[in-house]
Amino acid sequence: MLQGKVAVITGGTRGIGYATVKKFLENGAKVAMLGSREETVQKALASLKEENPEYPVVGYWPNLTKHEEVKEVFEKVKEEFGSLDVLVNNAGISARDPLYDYDPAAFEKIMDLNVNAVFNCSQVAACIMKEQGGGVILNTSSMVSIYGQPAGCGYPTSKFAVNGMTKSLARELGKDNIRVNAVAPGVIRTDMVAALPESVIQPLINTIPLRRVGEPEDIANAFVFLASDMASYITGVVLSVDGATMS
């Protein structure tokens, strides 16, 4: 579905990001996987190469909140693979601090990575995509951007901002043949969820009509579809992939 496309995927070393890197590679894309630290990037690359030594994948670890670092890496990707067709803004952090104890610096940190970094990556990628005649920008949102959550207001606030950026950029960049969409995952079996005891997981599952926790591959599949030509007339959408979970 992605044969011949070049993708940059941030937060690609584990969880949803790693599953997305793998799905893109399986579907014929060339991928630049971005992570926060060299050691995690190298470990993820080694795991992918062990599975298939022929995978066209490279790794970088820029500070996504620094515009110049993002620009430098994206230019390297374009030089390495010849284009930049798809950007998946997946890097992000969460927290569940109650408002009364919320450190303003922690709130600022969440906004910096979850919003400012998405802006940096999107702006740099869009400039490259416009020059080459089009592309696709995809963002990781969350079901809490729609429902909120009972503590840790920074995370849902940041994802609500991602939704707004998604819809606004879709309207602005459509004329340049750049589609912009987001995926809003529900409860997904990441390391954090997998570590929860059964006594916590089961009541959670009972709130999900499909009666199961989502897998990282469920989100990766949505990204593959939205990045592909099958979604060529879809833009400005925040796609919920949550089993119809109600917060």
Can you give the pLDDT at residue 237? 98
CA atoms of 73 and 231, how far apart (whole Å): 27
- The one catalytic residue in 55, 147, 155, 233 is 155
Can you give the pLDDT at residue 210? 94
CATH number for the domain whose boundaries are 6-186+216-238: 3.40.50.720
pTM for the model: 0.95
Q: Is 155 known to be catalytic?
A: yes
Can you give the pLDDT at residue 15? 95
pLDDT tens string for the chain (247 positions)?
999 999 999 999 999 999 999 999 999 999 999 999 999 999 999 999 999 999 999 999 999 999 999 999 999 999 999 999 999 999 999 888 999 999 999 999 999 999 999 999 999 999 999 999 999 999 999 999 998 888 999 999 999 999 999 999 999 999 999 999 999 999 999 876 777 678 878 888 988 999 999 999 999 999 999 999 999 999 999 999 999 986 5
Task: Give the per-residue SS3 of the chain.
Answer: CCCCCEEEEECCCCHHHHHHHHHHHHCCCEEEEECCCHHHHHHHHHHHHHHCCCCCEEEECCCCCCHHHHHHHHHHHHHHHCCCCEEEECCCCCCCCCHHHCCHHHHHHHHHHHHHHHHHHHHHHHHHHHHHCCEEEEEECCCHHHHCCCCCCHHHHHHHHHHHHHHHHHHHHHHHCEEEEEEEECCECCHHHHCCCHHHHHHHHCCCCCCCCECHHHHHHHHHHHHCHHHCCCCCCEEEECCCCCC
The one-letter code for the residue type at 4 is: G
